[in-house]
Structure 1
């Protein structure tokens, strides 16, 4: 038995994080028993293992998260010991630590800057030490910084101090520099513009215009004394090798200048106020993977195109053997057009990376920007270049992988990987919309729709905590409203439904997946203020806090296909319907949160929820239960949010709406990402698989067939002829529609949370004859669930389920009425389902699928030859029961019935 993944507030061994209420979690693996019978936690201060600062024990300690109630001191390391005993009598221990940052401690260091803002500065401080035991560096440099001690880079993270709402707060990072200290020391800090002072945001404007640095290096000596090296006017600065940089504008790096021989100037103090210095929230951005060049394409103009085979975000790093003064210029793109380099969809973010050599061999990389790309155009001195000189560094926040899915359907596997790569590319400190063009903003609407999928793929609790902290900060200045993206570079619009509702949806998703009550409590005020804001908007026109939200700008069903044309930004679902529905959903979510936290306002919000429900039913549903807004997204939201008079009537009408839409996806950001989940929820897994596996436009596998390695922003980002859509708003690396992977985890694999999150899970796979083998895992905060099943040649189903230590699950055997309670351990069974799962052509099967089967097509040709008229692509929505439409043409009902019956017996394998 082992204790693994010991985390503090979702982070392994955090140093310098904002941890006012630290929460300890751990996982047990390899246990002989099934559940814990006793556990204990002890916390001590580093160097004093005899004084127990916190102790807790019992049979019911929460390994998904136990709050450590102790008074924390600044710049202090705490060591944690966890002991667990299981029901077999086996015992084990695990250890971790966390270290606080400066907290509220006053700073000795001062903000320093430069007289000349034109150069990218490097600040230097030299100092001597007679003896030393340990050192900690506390630092924030704006816009971005890289710190070096005695020529060695401090830490393995990049783009620090990350994305901040600089007028409000600036994050401070803490580093252990003990191994780098010497008797004679040189501390160099390089600064770049970053999000802080390069053009950024919807207005592409610069928010700030001066470099800033504040730092304290605390050095512990053997006599228990401390030396502090802090920023002040004794520091010197000069221009660095970085000539220019910007998040959108790339970077120019000139190695020819000799910093050591440059003129060094005294730093100047900066008195202007900026945001408050706070301990960090952001996870480190690190190099998570390296990708080699897959192909080199020579262009007629003498340039080279490097194809890394995968759309991603990060850097291209290369070995330089150039002579002094020679240059290389790298440009970045996502797609080729007619074999040529293309990046017009980047709009103005096409600066790329330029390197000017000093003649010394070295490994070259950018420092203060990042790029989204698959293809890299290389120009300049390329004669001696080799493909193995270049490597792509995949950069994103240091999140642990928690999910994995593999099937016997290769295109479905590619879709899953596209989703994961979309998350990797857009989880650089914030959940951005895209990593390449002149946008890269943390849109709240994208974040909330993708959060369930993201939290299956990776451990997101610390990542989203940072984002929600930024949301809450922005909300405080908007009377409860939440902006469309945070932090705002300028006021884009009034707070909009679906986007602002991230304030209630994100905390609710975090609670479902991680059961961290402290986090729910931390962001409950954000939930409450947003719901109150929505109520006030409705009150302006209705005179009460329930009704239709009709005022102000709304994004609606963004980039849906059922607008005036498929190129419109907005679909046909009325704004007031969507905004009012989202308000209803947020009322439901805050009721659940208030009930979980045992807050007295639960009754108030519950009454408001019921009134809003009644209002929506009266406005949008007929007395018999028919929804009066006939769009795909309208039905999806009603079913997804559980709003109906008669559930069966609503579901039946939803299917009729899909047929009117010829079973083509019409929904945008609000409806499209949750279409398959909604169909599975209402018992139509067959249709969910139809949309999932559809290879024609629009659809997820349409993208795969067009070479996508990430998720597109638009369903038609690339047209059927292979050309990129020229209508703008065209990123090939957005993650919103990747939310379909929630269907893969939750329904295809069947791994679902229960009333206590994933401590008591439900395993209920929804199977399809078109996907015969599925293997999935989800390493939840409670432990790892695994589900694997196969549809065997003899019609039986083989299934294997693994339930983690301390957890229980209910297994619903696919295609049976049998439900089996499971304890921790492995369950395997091979059984005969209640229906033959090999038979795939029911009356609701699509004729386009039937015609792909040689036996089925032959049967139809022999008996009802005229039915081949349905092979026309315009009739791809036709189903087997449509064969009865041929009766007026002289075909006997009995004969058609016989064909339908025979089709139902044809097996897929």
Structure 2
């Protein structure tokens, strides 16, 4: 909904923690019933809005986090049925991403030190009369029951400070103060393109017990993102402390991976029956430590509320291997935990940033599991804005608060970098393949081109990318724990291969959009990079520089080899994987693609052996250790139950879960043959001892599904296609057969 803004951004005249903004509204008389009423609002900070004390919507943590310098989103709420002849409009505003701590150094007020509210209530009556109520100096602001709030550190709520006076018509809360108008450009306001953040579900405790040191611990059975909600009665002034963590260590809460994030909520009792829900923070946790609870904590007094962007679930996978099933569930939960308004790396420590590299490799997986078209499309707007104001450089995080802070010690200042900056091209292309909408490519085309131009300028005369800032095959399991960028894979190989993929995607995008001149330029760039890769990085015997799993993986999957070289690379890759005992030897660059590289060169059995390996490092090792999400490191928890000693150790990262894309396309065997599943390719490749696998996805054309079973040594495949959607079934023997719409069964 487009809004013509006449309201002003207002802020309390005195500095307040999580202030309440208040305005009484009296409807203009004599115009009949209210035909429609819309409340449009945004804030510097995160807000919740109420009419007469009732929430106007289900969203929380709005307006989320965008590139605030150039874009602030607003929400529009239909409040037609909520307005009375006289009503009280109230909005609470917390620090959120605007004024709270952000980044590695934990600095607060990155964007500004004044909280603000802009709101516009537009009422239309039965006779056509319009009334508008705007934020201006007529509003008042006062303290709330929130004493402190921060996304990293938690929220403190004092129930003894609660009053309903702010919801009552005619009341004049003594503690409310005037507001001031801020200098604010309403041209930066824009509507959400993606969904709001909402509460998804509530989980009850699976266990409550006393730790070895006498602390009360609660296990909710699932690593999740959100907060706890509780009801309690106790003496006035009693403080309950709820501390959050993802894991236990030595029987106690394992908080070291949180670094400086306190992740602690505090609730001060009023002396009566109190309910607490800290909606101006969020935590990544499975366990909580509860201190100060009056009496015994029971499982009906506390629950965990799961919170993230409201993304419809679209894709389902299941198979006969319980561990693979659990791995896939972990990937789903890892996605849920890192789609709270933007695609983040992790949801728990003092970081929670929109790392571009993570989503660059995970976008296809995300687009199968959930409808992320609007969610990632919204984020790409911010990527474009950050890039435009950084001379074409796509930053490693979007939005980018790191530009205001020193980069971590030991790393050079970031510039255009392979994979991370490639998100400008790879993410739009993944969304186009998943949903088939060219409009997104049109909108992002300038950003995509700007990235390629920037990367092209960094090429050597020989046509390889061998200079500048690179994170490379980040978190290679053989890299030193404190230097995750020191991977086995040569950074020039990784960067050059990634640029070839990017240039190839850009050629296809330009052709698709009718920009044939541009397409020719991208084709020439791809050819130049291809020549450079082959002449500078591949020896005559087919050995790729640094001779490790990741370099062969990228060369094969990105199409840099053919004929005899492709066969040699496939054999060398399979040999390396076998020599490592089918344990994972790749980092962020190679892990999403290694099973694909093996399968497409005739080594499906090796791909399955890699996928189903249980020894660390492997995808299933964390599952055997009780993980319920995907870890950042293969050994985030060591076999003895202790936490990895490295400083960077998260138990909820989705990037390494990008293998689910291969599970969907190859293990189950379903993929788009044309963008948006306008045509479908079924290509199951059974292996790994599986006796059946199944997957389905709700597409723009309807539900597409497949299930295969091995019955008496024969492969039986059941396919499902919507009307009008053609399909092809590729069998393991290499034969292909057309598939008609409806549900069909084939036995081979």
Do both share a fold (TM > 0.5)? yes
Quick check: 1:158 aligned with 2:68? no
1:677–1:740 Cα contact (<8 Å) kept:
no
Q: What SS class does the counterpart of residue 427 from structure 1 fall into? A: coil
Name the residue aligned to 1:234.
Answer: 138
1:401–1:458 Cα contact (<8 Å) kept:
yes
The list of structure 1 runs, each at least 4 consecutive aligned residues, that deviate by more than 6 angstroms after superposition, is none
Quick check: 1:811 aligned with 2:733? no
Shift, 1:820, TM fit? 1.6
Shift, 1:567, TM fit? 6.7
Post-superposition CA distance 1:833-887 (Å, at most 9, x none): xxxxxxxxxxxxxxxxxxxxxxxxxxxxxxxxxxxxxxxxxxxxxxxxxxxxxxx
Q: Which has the higher contact order (CA 8 A, sep 6+)?
A: 2
Q: What SS class does the counterpart of residue 355 from structure 1 fall into? A: strand
Post-superposition CA distance 1:539-591 (Å, at most 9, x none): xx53xxx7122332211111102336797443121222211221111110100
Shift, 1:299, TM fit? 2.7
**Taking structure 1 as reference, are residues 411 and 229 closer, same or farther at Cα in structure 2, changes over 3 Å only?**
same
Quick check: 1:699 aligned with 2:618? yes
Name the residue aligned to 1:559.
Answer: 475
1:578 counterpart (494, 503, 509) = 494
Name the residue aligned to 1:787.
Answer: 706
Distance 1:749 1:484 in 2: 33
Q: Given the two structures, how large is their TM-score scaled by the length of structure 1?
A: 0.77
Gaps of 5+ in 1: 1-99, 832-909
1:604 counterpart (509, 521, 532) = 521
Q: What SS class does the counterpart of residue 374 from structure 2 fall into? A: helix
Count of aligned residue pairs for this structure pair: 722
Name the residue aligned to 1:394.
Answer: 306
Shift, 1:620, TM fit? 1.3
**Taking structure 1 as reference, are residues 191 and 234 closer, same or farther at Cα in structure 2, changes over 3 Å only?**
same
Quick check: 1:223 aligned with 2:127? yes
Q: What SS class does the counterpart of residue 554 from structure 1 fall into? A: coil
Name the residue aligned to 2:440.
Answer: 519
Quick check: 1:375 aligned with 2:293? no
2:44 counterpart (142, 155, 158) = 142
1:505 counterpart (426, 434, 450) = 426
Post-superposition CA distance 1:218-252 (Å, at most 9, x none): 11112101111110111011111111111111100
Name the residue aligned to 1:482.
Answer: 394
**RMSD across aligned C-alpha pairs, in angstroms?**
1.7
1:567–1:727 Cα contact (<8 Å) kept:
no
Q: What SS class does the counterpart of residue 593 from structure 2 fall into? A: helix
Correspondences of 1:418-817 after superposition (within 5 Å): 418-491=330-403, 492=407, 493-538=414-459, 541-542=460-461, 547-563=463-479, 568-599=484-515, 600-645=517-562, 646-768=565-687, 770-792=689-711, 794-813=712-731, 815-817=732-734
Q: What SS class does the counterpart of residue 650 from structure 1 fall into? A: helix
Distance 2:123 2:484 in 1: 60
1:159–1:367 Cα contact (<8 Å) kept:
yes
Shift, 1:205, TM fit? 1.6
**Taking structure 1 as reference, are residues 698 and 496 closer, same or farther at Cα in structure 2, changes over 3 Å only?**
same
Name the residue aligned to 1:110.
Answer: 8
2:59–2:198 Cα contact (<8 Å) kept:
yes
Q: Given the two structures, how large is their TM-score scaled by the length of structure 2?
A: 0.94
Distance 1:566 1:238 in 2: 47
Shift, 1:819, TM fit? 2.1
Distance 2:483 2:101 in 1: 29
Shift, 1:444, TM fit? 0.3
Name the residue aligned to 2:742.
Answer: 825
Name the residue aligned to 1:413.
Answer: 325
Distance 2:80 2:483 in 1: 57
Name the residue aligned to 1:7.
Answer: none
Distance 2:257 2:568 in 1: 44
Name the residue aligned to 1:245.
Answer: 149
Name the residue aligned to 1:195.
Answer: 97
Shift, 1:789, TM fit? 1.4
Q: What SS class does the counterpart of residue 133 from structure 1 fall into? A: strand
Distance 1:697 1:312 in 2: 24
Quick check: 1:257 aligned with 2:161? yes
Distance 1:266 1:340 in 2: 47
**Taking structure 1 as reference, are residues 820 and 636 closer, same or farther at Cα in structure 2, changes over 3 Å only?**
same
Shift, 1:369, TM fit? 0.8
Shift, 1:673, TM fit? 2.6
Distance 1:719 1:274 in 2: 52
**Worse-matched range after superposition: 457-466 or 618-627:** 618-627
Gaps of 5+ in 2: 166-172, 408-413
Distance 2:735 2:569 in 1: 28
**Taking structure 1 as reference, are residues 393 and 564 closer, same or farther at Cα in structure 2, changes over 3 Å only?**
closer
Q: Which has the larger radius of gyration?
A: 1
Distance 2:309 2:44 in 1: 19
Post-superposition CA distance 1:746-782 (Å, at most 9, x none): 1001102214442111101010151112121122222
Name the residue aligned to 1:176.
Answer: 78
Shift, 1:829, TM fit? 3.0
Correspondences of 1:74-89 after superposition (within 5 Å): none
Distance 2:541 2:334 in 1: 43
Q: What SS class does the counterpart of residue 505 from structure 1 fall into? A: helix
**Taking structure 1 as reference, are residues 262 and 381 closer, same or farther at Cα in structure 2, changes over 3 Å only?**
farther
Distance 2:546 2:490 in 1: 8
**Taking structure 1 as reference, are residues 494 and 716 closer, same or farther at Cα in structure 2, changes over 3 Å only?**
same
Shift, 1:393, TM fit? 1.1
Shift, 1:275, TM fit? 7.2
**Taking structure 1 as reference, are residues 724 and 300 closer, same or farther at Cα in structure 2, changes over 3 Å only?**
closer
Shift, 1:110, TM fit? 0.7
Distance 2:643 2:296 in 1: 33
